[in-house]
Every structure is written in C-alpha cells, then in structure tokens.
Amino acid sequence: MEQYALEHHLGKIFSQSWGATEETLFTPAGKKVLNDFEKFYQRASKHHITFLASAGDSGVSNPDVNNITYPFPTVGFPANSPLVTAVGGTSLFADTSGNYQSETVWNQGVGSSTGGGYSRFYRAPQYQQKYLPATVNNQSHGFRGVPDIAFNGDPLTSIPVYLGFMPQPGYFMFGGTSAGAPQWAGLIADANQMAGHPLGSLNETLYRIGSDPSLAAHAFNDITQGDNSQGHIKGFSAAPGWDPVTGWGTPKVSFLLPLLVNPPRS
C-alpha cells in the first residue's frame, strides 16, 4: 500500500501505526523485509516524504514471543529505522479548563506502555551520534535509539473522539502510540503548508533543535518522570533531554513548527 502511495504521488506524509518487534525479523526472510523497507525509505526520501511510526504499546516486552523465555528489552519496526521519525507515548494531565499541567511516561502496566529502547539491528544514525551527549551514546553501544519524539498516548488521558456511525454514537477514548503518530502527521501537514513545500525527513532538524537548550525548552515538553518497564523486563527511564522512552518529548507547537520550517543553523 505504501509502495502504491509513493508511485502514485498520493501524499507527502506517511503515518505508520503498525509494527513488529525487531527480533521477529532477525531471520533471513525478516532481514530481507528490513532491507527492502530501507531501500523504499531511501527512495521515498528523494521525494521529500516524511515518515512517522508509532514506537509500540507493549513497553520493552516482546508480545510476539513468550517473555518468560525472552526476558530482554526490545524495540519495534518500523520505528527503529533511522529513516523514520519514531513517536513514543505519554500520559498527559490538564486542569479542568484544558490547560497543560504535566506529562509522564505512559505505562499502565503489563502490555500497555510506550515502546522505546535501543535497536540491535540498526547502528546509531549520524544525527544521534552528533547531537546526543556521550553518556547517551555510551548507553546505546552505538545503536539506534527509539523514539525520537512523543505524544499523548495514554487511553485514560487521551482526547475523546466522536463516532456517529456506532450502534450507540458518542465519544470514545483512543490512545496508544498508534494515535500519537497520526497526530504528529497532522502537525507536519501544517508545517508543510507553512513552508510551502514538503519538509521530508525530520530527524536531523529535530535533533538539532533538541540539542540546543535555549531552543529545546521552548520547542518541547521534556518528559522526566516514568519508565517503560514491563513486569520482570527492566525498561528505560525518562530523563532530562533526549531519552529512549519519550525522545525529546512532546511538541510545543507554536514554537516548534516555525523552527521546523526554518531550521536553526548547526
């Protein structure tokens, strides 16, 4: 379907709310899937297409295998691709007037938490090597960290959506990182319109902004509380700046979008 969309020029922003845990693709057939997608992303980048992907909703656990016999943290594909902007999930708290109060890592327990961590397949891309501090790059052991950014993903703190076609129409709460990726896509559509052209790959600019404290404080809500551990599988904790749970954080749209349109010089 994405191949069809690319060949027929159907859009400049691809939001991917699907995925598989990385280890399930370490077979010869799975590695072919990874390599084929990388070629696809590289080809699409020439058309200035933005790719966003949800980081997953099972924390660091692997829902595709028995976690008793596989007690290791994992990340998801395609969010792990260096050519994709991966979106993690938060729990967003606001007052009764809807004013922002705080955010934490979204983690409701077993089987319901934002994905995040370090790939065992993709090496750390240049933008992470360049813009992340040495302490983070040491922790990654030279591999791609996920996610890059985040959005409200907790179904309990999400925005209600009205569905009129249900047997009983009304408002329903939707969450997960699969909701965050398309909401980021909507913001990038606004940024494309502001720019008058498609922005294409976002990661170099996002990391350039995030690594500058004078810009990051105005561009992102930095998430510093919570982790994505799942049962006996220890995950990763939020921290000031970029972390492998919520990336740089959630967007402060009015400041961030103009920076994406007119990136700061490195």
Residue 180 covered by a domain? yes
Of 13-22, 189-198, 208-217, 240-249, which range is least confident? 13-22
185, 164 in Cβ contact below 8 A? no
147 Cβ contact partners less than 8 Å away, ≥ 6 residues apart: 55, 79, 86, 87, 88, 114, 115, 116, 177, 244, 245, 246, 247
Residue 178: the pLDDT is 92
Digit-coded pLDDT (tens) for 106-157: 998 877 899 999 999 999 999 999 999 999 988 899 999 999 999 999 998 8
Q: Domain total for the chain?
A: 1
Give the Cα separation of 180 and 187 in Å (integer). 11
CATH number at residue 205: 3.40.50.200
Q: Closest by alpha carbon to 6, among 38, 36, 43? A: 43
Residue 174 covered by a domain? yes
First to last CA, the chain: 36
Residue 266 covered by a domain? no
Q: Would the pLDDT of 221 be above 60?
A: yes
Residue 66: the pLDDT is 55
Q: Would the pLDDT of 27 be above 90?
A: no
Residue 218 covered by a domain? yes
Range of the domain at 38: 2-261
Q: How far is CA 191 from CA 159, 184, 226, 248, 262, in A?
A: 22, 10, 30, 18, 10
Residue 69: the pLDDT is 57
Q: Closest by alpha carbon to 83, among 118, 139, 39? A: 39
Residue 95 covered by a domain? yes
Prior bond of 213 cis (ω within 30°): no
Token pair for 137: 């790059």
Residue 70: the pLDDT is 65
Digit-coded pLDDT (tens) for 224-243: 999 999 988 899 999 999 99
Residue 203 covered by a domain? yes
Q: Name the average pLDDT for the chain.
A: 91
Residue 86 covered by a domain? yes
Phi, psi of 202 (to 5 degrees): -100, -20
Residue 233 covered by a domain? yes
Confidence of residue 67 (pLDDT cuts 50, 70, 90): low
